[in-house]
Amino acid sequence: MSKIYDRKTGKCTEITQYGGGMMQEAYHGKSSRFLLPVVTSRMYTRLWGWWQCTPFSCNKIPGFVKQYHVNMADYETQVFRNFDEFFVRRIREDARPMPFDPYRLIAPADSKLLVYPVREDMRLNIKGLEYTLEELTGSRRFSKMFAGGQCLVFRLTMDDYHHYCFPDDGWQKLRRTVPGRLHTVSPYSSEKKVYQENFRVVNLLETKHFGKILMIEVGALFAGRICNHPVQCFRRGEEKGYFRLGGSSILMLLQKDAVQLDEDILEYTEKGIEVKLRYREDIGTSV
């Protein structure tokens, strides 16, 4: 289990990791040496995804909704032919309203957020492991651009809405794919540099109110497919894409002195407690 702070209720709760028993064995069990390379391979996720596209997978939907307290009233009415269709279900537009003030930064997805400073030497520490900006992006070209800034790690779990949006008006300057494995992004992989090793898509965005933003969609165990829409110019809150099945993460790198994040987010990040957010929820103000 991991602890999160829910801004909506003002309380801290613990959440159960999907597939926890299998992940515990894969990462820390006696057979991890042999099991881990298998379960983190893209082939394993493809096979698991194929099974979730069969009609037999419908049987798990009612139990999943109950276990993870999914409020189906938030979603468009739909008949699901398999678990995959349920996972990429679409939310009602009015269920995730957007703040009116365009100078308020919005969360790109339903997620659990932690914030990390990017040091001037272009290094940062995420969950006890040190990364360089080059390791995160697979390129040297972004390093100096975001030195001294902030790295926002939005972790999506199985119960979250897995579509994600653009944080502001603007245009996409670059998109590149970085190949890799598919480690879980849950606490089970805490000893692995998942944001360097995992398959990911790196996007450089030029935004109207927050300067340049580096948005990195990270694939994970059971979520190897990152589906981005072919959008060049975008609007704040417009859907950017979605993940197919499983937990995953979005990293958002902000330039130095670009955004003042809300105090409660900084307070709980300092305690090491993730902050539960909802798609398009405001999280900070343009400086």
Task: Give SS3 for 255.
Answer: coil
- Kind of pairing, strands 2-6 and 282-286? unpaired
Would you call 194 exposed, middle or buried from its count of C-beta atoms within 10 A (0-12, 13-18, 19+)?
Answer: buried
Contact 32, 183 (CB under 8 A): no
Instruction: For residue 244, list its beta bridge partners.
Output: 225
Give the Cα separation of 230 and 233 in Å (integer): 10
Which alpha helices (H) appear in 124-282, and where do they start and end? 133-137, 143-146, 194-197, 263-270
- What are the tokens at 84? 């995959």
Per the residue annotation, which of 57, 111, 186, 248 is the catalytic one? Answer: 248
What one-character DSSP code corresponds to residue 220?
B
Q: Which of 57, 110, 111, 168 is catalytic?
A: 110
- What is the rounded CA–CA span in Å between residue 190 and residue 197? 13
For this structure, is 189 an active site residue? no
- Give the CA angle between residues 209, 74, 64 to the nearest 5°: 115
The single residue listed with the structure tokens 């405001």 is 282
The neighbour count for residue 212, using CB atoms within 10 Å, is: 18
Is residue 42 helix, strand or coil?
helix
Supply angle C-alpha 149, 118, 276, rounded to 5: 80
User: What is the DSSP secondary structure assignment for residue 57, as one 8-state letter?
Assistant: G
Does the annotation count 248 as an active-site position?
yes
3-state secondary structure of 48: helix
Active centre residues (catalytic) = 110, 248
